[in-house]
Structure 1
């Protein structure tokens, strides 16, 4: 058994296969997932698992070049948006590398999920709780 935080075999496999600039999306329970993109559905019930729990765990095993999120997130769900930005600020400090955050319109965000290697669906019911992680390199 793995001795790390991320024990979900499907997500672990996807993260292990990511190359530079590949994308992995983590979303709330309502984001449409494009046909042809791998769906990893973790949603059990409202709030389980929580968006931030999944983000923290995936980021613990992934080199992050940047993140993309919907610009509407900030206005519609400001508390979770601030928590997410604070988390990435702390990760950037811990890793000694900036993590650029790119806000785009929700429509563009949904279109861009077509470029993701996989989409991880959580049980989050907070509107716009969606993020795409762009893989970096460790050197």
Structure 2
């Protein structure tokens, strides 16, 4: 056991987050996503929903302040401007950890999301039941204080 970590900070998730470098991406996906067939590295956290995993990741990992869009959401097919509740919850967590208005979830078309996730450092499969519970986070740097 370690102090100050949540039950979601499993050895697999901690290893993935710690091993990622600046600019690497981690994909957090819902239960419908074909994570096992697309992942280079798969972290399974089926007992948690997407917002819990976003929170667990952003407690430890900064977003990339040098990237135009360090956080992306899968767009709703047919209505790409629609932002489902699940994605709004993720935006609220990004605001909480990174500062309100600093980073906005950008949209990425469904098939482009699938293609990009194949290149990601890791995919985290969650138990999220709501559709479009899929986001990509790009790791930033921690500057000396």
Q: TM-score range by the shorter chain?
A: 0.7 to 0.9
1:91 to 73, 97, 102: 97
Deviates more, 1:80-89 or 1:16-25: 80-89
What do the CA deviations read for 1:55-87 (whole angstroms, capped 9, x no partner)?
111110111111111121763x62222222122
Flag structure 2 segments of 5+ consecutive residues without an equivalent. Answer: 65-69
Identify the residue that residue 120 of structure 1 maps to in structure 2: 124
Deviations along 1:89-108, whole A, 9 cap, x unmatched? 222228xx922422110111
Task: Report the secondary structure of 1:3's partner residue.
Answer: coil
2:71–2:104 contact (8 Å) kept in structure 1: yes
RMSD: 2.1
Give the stretch that moved more between structures: 48-57 or 126-135. 48-57
Runs of 4+ in 1 over 4 A off after TM superposition: none
- The change in CA–CA distance for 1:74 and 1:86 in structure 2 (over 3 A counts) is farther
SS in 2 for 1:64: coil
Q: 1:89 to 1:25 in 2, by over 3 A?
A: same
SS of residue matched to 2:28 = strand
* Alignment pair present for 1:17 and 2:19: yes
Deviations 1:15-51 (A, max 9, x none): 11111100111110111224451111221xxxx3111
Looking at structure 2, the residues matched to 123 and 10 of structure 1 have their Cα atoms a distance apart, in angstroms, of: 16
Q: How far 1:120 sits from its partner (Å)?
A: 0.7
| Structure-1-length-normalised TM-score | 0.84
Quick one: which of 119, 138, 144 aligns to 1:134? 138
Find the counterpart in structure 1 of residue 10 from structure 2: 8
